Amino acid sequence: MIKDTINNSDKYNRLDENIKLGLKYLKETDFTKIDDGKHVLSDKLYVNLQTYRTKQDADYEAHREYVDIQYIISGAEKIGVEDYNNCDSKIPYNKEKDIEFLSGKGIFYELNVGEFMILYPEDAHEPSISINPEIPQTVRKAVVKVKI
Protein backbone atom coordinates (compact mmCIF):
# COMPACT_ATOMS: atom_id res chain seq x y z
CA MET A 1 0.00 0.00 0.00
CA ILE A 2 1.19 3.48 -0.87
CA LYS A 3 -0.49 6.69 0.35
CA ASP A 4 0.59 10.12 -0.85
CA THR A 5 -0.59 13.34 -2.48
CA ILE A 6 -1.03 13.61 -6.23
CA ASN A 7 1.58 16.41 -6.25
CA ASN A 8 4.17 13.79 -5.28
CA SER A 9 3.08 11.24 -7.89
CA ASP A 10 6.27 11.66 -9.94
CA LYS A 11 8.13 9.88 -7.11
CA TYR A 12 6.44 6.67 -8.25
CA ASN A 13 7.56 6.75 -11.89
CA ARG A 14 9.66 3.63 -11.32
CA LEU A 15 6.56 1.56 -10.58
CA ASP A 16 4.70 -0.41 -13.22
CA GLU A 17 4.16 1.62 -16.41
CA ASN A 18 0.37 1.38 -16.11
CA ILE A 19 0.42 2.62 -12.50
CA LYS A 20 2.54 5.53 -13.73
CA LEU A 21 -0.04 6.24 -16.46
CA GLY A 22 -2.90 6.01 -13.94
CA LEU A 23 -1.23 8.53 -11.65
CA LYS A 24 -0.53 10.83 -14.60
CA TYR A 25 -4.22 10.66 -15.58
CA LEU A 26 -5.29 11.57 -12.04
CA LYS A 27 -2.86 14.48 -11.89
CA GLU A 28 -3.78 15.96 -15.28
CA THR A 29 -7.55 15.41 -15.49
CA ASP A 30 -10.19 18.04 -14.77
CA PHE A 31 -12.85 15.87 -13.15
CA THR A 32 -15.43 18.67 -13.20
CA LYS A 33 -15.81 17.90 -16.92
CA ILE A 34 -16.29 14.13 -16.58
CA ASP A 35 -19.43 12.31 -15.43
CA ASP A 36 -19.44 9.47 -12.93
CA GLY A 37 -19.17 5.98 -14.37
CA LYS A 38 -16.61 3.69 -15.97
CA HIS A 39 -14.14 5.27 -18.40
CA VAL A 40 -11.75 2.99 -20.31
CA LEU A 41 -8.27 4.46 -20.73
CA SER A 42 -6.56 1.43 -22.35
CA ASP A 43 -6.79 -2.36 -22.45
CA LYS A 44 -5.06 -2.50 -19.04
CA LEU A 45 -6.40 0.66 -17.44
CA TYR A 46 -9.81 2.09 -16.63
CA VAL A 47 -11.26 4.49 -14.08
CA ASN A 48 -14.49 4.38 -12.11
CA LEU A 49 -15.70 7.83 -11.11
CA GLN A 50 -18.17 7.72 -8.26
CA THR A 51 -20.02 10.03 -5.89
CA TYR A 52 -21.43 8.59 -2.65
CA ARG A 53 -22.04 9.16 1.05
CA THR A 54 -19.52 7.72 3.50
CA LYS A 55 -20.70 5.03 5.91
CA GLN A 56 -19.91 3.76 9.40
CA ASP A 57 -18.79 0.29 8.38
CA ALA A 58 -18.22 -1.93 5.35
CA ASP A 59 -16.69 -5.26 4.44
CA TYR A 60 -13.07 -5.43 3.43
CA GLU A 61 -12.51 -6.20 -0.23
CA ALA A 62 -9.59 -7.53 -2.23
CA HIS A 63 -8.84 -7.93 -5.92
CA ARG A 64 -6.60 -10.42 -7.72
CA GLU A 65 -6.37 -9.06 -11.26
CA TYR A 66 -6.22 -5.32 -10.63
CA VAL A 67 -4.36 -2.80 -8.51
CA ASP A 68 -6.56 0.04 -7.23
CA ILE A 69 -5.45 3.65 -7.23
CA GLN A 70 -8.07 5.41 -5.11
CA TYR A 71 -8.01 9.20 -5.42
CA ILE A 72 -10.19 11.71 -3.56
CA ILE A 73 -11.58 14.47 -5.80
CA SER A 74 -13.82 16.03 -3.14
CA GLY A 75 -14.73 15.20 0.45
CA ALA A 76 -12.74 12.90 2.71
CA GLU A 77 -12.97 9.35 4.03
CA LYS A 78 -11.11 6.70 5.95
CA ILE A 79 -9.86 3.50 4.31
CA GLY A 80 -8.94 0.49 6.40
CA VAL A 81 -6.06 -1.61 5.10
CA GLU A 82 -5.12 -5.11 6.25
CA ASP A 83 -2.87 -7.83 4.85
CA TYR A 84 -5.07 -10.19 2.84
CA ASN A 85 -3.63 -13.19 4.71
CA ASN A 86 -4.90 -11.78 8.03
CA CYS A 87 -8.52 -11.64 6.81
CA ASP A 88 -11.31 -14.19 6.69
CA SER A 89 -13.39 -14.64 3.55
CA LYS A 90 -17.05 -13.58 3.89
CA ILE A 91 -18.12 -13.78 0.25
CA PRO A 92 -15.87 -15.94 -1.98
CA TYR A 93 -13.89 -14.46 -4.84
CA ASN A 94 -15.95 -13.55 -7.90
CA LYS A 95 -13.62 -13.83 -10.90
CA GLU A 96 -16.00 -11.98 -13.23
CA LYS A 97 -16.08 -8.93 -10.93
CA ASP A 98 -12.54 -9.46 -9.55
CA ILE A 99 -13.65 -9.03 -5.95
CA GLU A 100 -13.72 -10.96 -2.72
CA PHE A 101 -15.35 -9.64 0.46
CA LEU A 102 -13.59 -10.25 3.75
CA SER A 103 -13.61 -9.48 7.44
CA GLY A 104 -10.52 -7.96 8.99
CA LYS A 105 -9.15 -5.51 11.53
CA GLY A 106 -6.84 -3.19 9.66
CA ILE A 107 -5.28 0.18 10.22
CA PHE A 108 -7.35 3.16 9.07
CA TYR A 109 -5.91 5.98 7.01
CA GLU A 110 -7.61 9.28 6.28
CA LEU A 111 -7.76 10.17 2.60
CA ASN A 112 -8.41 13.83 1.76
CA VAL A 113 -8.77 15.90 -1.42
CA GLY A 114 -5.75 15.43 -3.67
CA GLU A 115 -4.54 12.29 -1.92
CA PHE A 116 -4.31 8.81 -3.42
CA MET A 117 -3.76 5.30 -2.17
CA ILE A 118 -2.33 2.47 -4.27
CA LEU A 119 -3.73 -0.87 -3.13
CA TYR A 120 -2.16 -4.10 -4.36
CA PRO A 121 -3.85 -7.54 -4.35
CA GLU A 122 -2.37 -8.32 -0.92
CA ASP A 123 -3.93 -5.12 0.48
CA ALA A 124 -7.45 -5.94 1.63
CA HIS A 125 -9.21 -2.61 2.05
CA GLU A 126 -12.35 -1.15 3.58
CA PRO A 127 -13.13 2.06 1.66
CA SER A 128 -15.80 4.76 2.03
CA ILE A 129 -15.75 5.00 5.83
CA SER A 130 -16.83 8.23 7.53
CA ILE A 131 -14.09 10.13 9.30
CA ASN A 132 -16.68 11.07 11.92
CA PRO A 133 -19.22 8.22 12.20
CA GLU A 134 -21.90 10.68 13.32
CA ILE A 135 -21.51 12.84 10.20
CA PRO A 136 -21.44 11.06 6.84
CA GLN A 137 -20.21 13.22 4.01
CA THR A 138 -20.37 13.21 0.25
CA VAL A 139 -17.22 12.02 -1.47
CA ARG A 140 -16.30 12.09 -5.14
CA LYS A 141 -13.59 9.58 -5.92
CA ALA A 142 -11.73 8.21 -8.91
CA VAL A 143 -10.67 4.58 -8.69
CA VAL A 144 -8.15 3.73 -11.38
CA LYS A 145 -8.04 -0.02 -12.01
CA VAL A 146 -4.66 -1.24 -13.26
CA LYS A 147 -4.51 -4.76 -14.76
CA ILE A 148 -1.58 -6.76 -13.41
| pLDDT number for residue 6 | 98
| pLDDT number for residue 60 | 98
Closest by CA position to 56, among listed 110, 5, 131: 131
123-129, strands of its sheet edge to edge: 88-94, 99-103, 60-62, 123-129, 77-83, 107-111
- The CATH class for the domain spanning 2-147 reads mainly beta
| pLDDT number for residue 145 | 98
| pLDDT number for residue 21 | 97
pLDDT per residue, tens digit, the chain (148 aa), is: 999 999 999 999 999 999 999 999 999 999 999 999 999 999 999 999 999 999 999 999 999 999 999 999 999 999 999 999 999 999 999 999 999 999 999 999 999 999 999 999 999 999 999 999 899 999 999 999 999 9
- Whether 22 and 44 have beta carbons less than 8 Å apart is answered as no
